[in-house]
Amino acid sequence: MNPASKLMRVLVVDDDEVTAAVLEHSLIEFGYDVTVAHNGREAFQLIRSGEIRMVVSDWCMPEMSGLELCRRIRERSGGAYVYIIMLTSNSRTQDVVEGLNAGADDYITKPFQPEELQVRLRVGERVLSLESRDLTIFALAKLAESRDPDTGAHLERIREYCRIMAQELVRTGETGEDLDGDFVHMMYLTSPLHDIGKVGIPDQILLKPGALTDDETEIMRRHTVIGGETLDALVAAHPEARFLLLARDIAWTHHERYDGSGYPRGLAGRAIPLCGRIAALADVYDALTSKRVYKDAMSHEAAREVICEGRGSHFDPRVVDAFLRRDQDFHRLQRALADPPTPVAALS
């Protein structure tokens, strides 16, 4: 069998033999691989094996109900997302709410048309493919910075900082820009890509323990152009993918400064896309509060001071104000996601 054509596996959970068989038959007809379990407990064991991404589960079953199964699946930490469709004759709204609260993604009331189930499963596949996209983006960002032992949980922090500021700017609406709720998620998703251009920077510069010479600084700064141009090419090939536009803009502009003194293009004010103005602050706050090969870490208070000094020169004043309103959240995340100090053994 061609491994690329591997079918998506769906787990059917129903204590009623006849219903289970009918479901199995329909799903095979729709082109899925099917595994059958007869109660929640059996289903949960199968899910833990990790091969299952979609579940169609009955509500009332002996041993472990569908509801309990949902809860158990959602309680697991780690593992890929499992998409759950509940199949129920409990059509009372109350039950539906309870099912969704327990972590079900969708529900179908019995009796149902097979076509309806097929459509719902397609929706599930679409959701799962978006999750794969998100994980891929983050894995590529991690790979791009894997040569730099200094950066630790840098990307995890950056995306959280960006999310906080984006939320704050969307909430207050004071940027005057047209931002939708998706903007917050898109910032979270794409900000880890800001430095992917560093793959093009040689080790002796990227990892240099001291200050950079002018020539080295020049080369270091090219990471914005390398990343930006790489993503430009992707944007051109996929104009429909909005997250690529954002990733591209962030890669190009996260070292621009509000007063026009940044690089690589010396853009000023609103000529710098908002995502770049947000990523700039996140990047600097993280650099200041982290240890680097070339410098020590600063306290949250000292970093806040530096950022306030850069209000209107380095940073967009509105972005600084958003930071200041949420600075305790920054501080909390900075501690929660701090990198452990370099062990002495690693230095010898």
Contact call for residue 83 and ligand SIN (CB under 6 A): no
b (16+ CB within 10 A) / e for 50-72: eebbbbbbbbebeebbbbebbbb
Choice between 46 and 73, CB closer to ligand SIN: 73
Choice between 64 and 153, CB closer to Fe ion: 153
Contact call for residue 188 and ligand SIN (CB under 6 A): yes
Q: How far is the CB of 333 from Fe ion (least distance, A)?
A: 20
Contact call for residue 160 and Fe ion (CB under 5 A): no
Choice between 7 and 308, CB closer to ligand C2E: 308
Q: How far is the CB of 134 from ligand SIN (least distance, A)?
A: 3
The amino acid present at 40, given as its one-letter code, is G
Give yes or no for a contact between 108 and 96, defined as CB atoms under 8 angstroms apart: no
Contact call for residue 134 and ligand SIN (CB under 6 A): yes
**Chosen from ligand SIN, Fe ion, ligand C2E, none, partner binding at 127 (C-beta under 5 to 8 Å by type):** none
Q: How far apart are CA 96 and CA 86, in angstroms?
A: 9
Residue nearest to Fe ion (CB): 195
Centre a 10 Å sphere on the Cβ of residue 249 and count the other Cβ atoms it contains: 20
Q: What is the SS3 assignment for 7-57?
A: CCEEEEECCCHHHHHHHHHHHHHCCCEEEEECCHHHHHHHHHCCCCCEEEE
**Chosen from ligand C2E, Fe ion, ligand SIN, none, partner binding at 293 (C-beta under 5 to 8 Å by type):** ligand C2E
What is the DSSP pairing of strand 83-88 with strand 106-109?
A: parallel
**Among the listed residues 341, 345, 348, the one whose alpha carbon sits nearest the alpha carbon of residue 297:** 341
Q: Dihedrals φ, ψ of 176, to 5°?
A: 75, 0
* Cα atoms found within 13 Å of the Cα of residue 297, Cβ hemisphere only: 15
SS3 107: strand
Choice between 155 and 247, CB closer to ligand C2E: 155
Q: How far is the CB of 254 from ligand SIN (least distance, A)?
A: 19
Choice between 18 and 211, CB closer to ligand C2E: 211
Single out the segment in contact with ligand SIN by CB under 6 A; choices: 25-33, 75-83, 130-138, 313-321.
Answer: 130-138
Choice between 97 and 135, CB closer to ligand SIN: 135
Residues found near ligand C2E in the complex (CB under 6 A): 208, 211-212, 220, 255, 283-284, 287-288, 292-295, 306
Give yes or no for a contact between 290 and 298, defined as CB atoms under 8 angstroms apart: no
Size of the site for ligand SIN (CB under 6 A): 8
Contact call for residue 256 and Fe ion (CB under 5 A): no
Site string for ligand SIN, 137-176 (x = CB under 6 A): -x------------------------x-------------
Q: How far is the CB of 106 from Fe ion (least distance, A)?
A: 41
SS3 84: strand
Q: How far apart are CA 293 and CA 302, in angstroms?
A: 19
Among 12, 73, 189, 245, which residue interacts with ligand SIN (rule: CB under 6 A)? 189
Site for Fe ion in 177-196 (CB under 5 A): 195
SS3 271: helix
Single out the segment in contact with ligand SIN by CB under 6 A; choices: 114-122, 180-188, 208-216, 331-339.
Answer: 180-188
Contact call for residue 135 and ligand SIN (CB under 6 A): yes
Q: How far apart are CA 23 and CA 117, in angstroms?
A: 9
Give yes or no for a contact between 168 and 322, defined as CB atoms under 8 angstroms apart: yes
**Which residue is it, tokens 């990790």?**
50
Q: How far apart are CA 160 and CA 285, in angstroms?
A: 12
Q: Which residues bind ligand SIN (CB under 6 A)?
A: 134-135, 138, 163, 184-185, 188-189
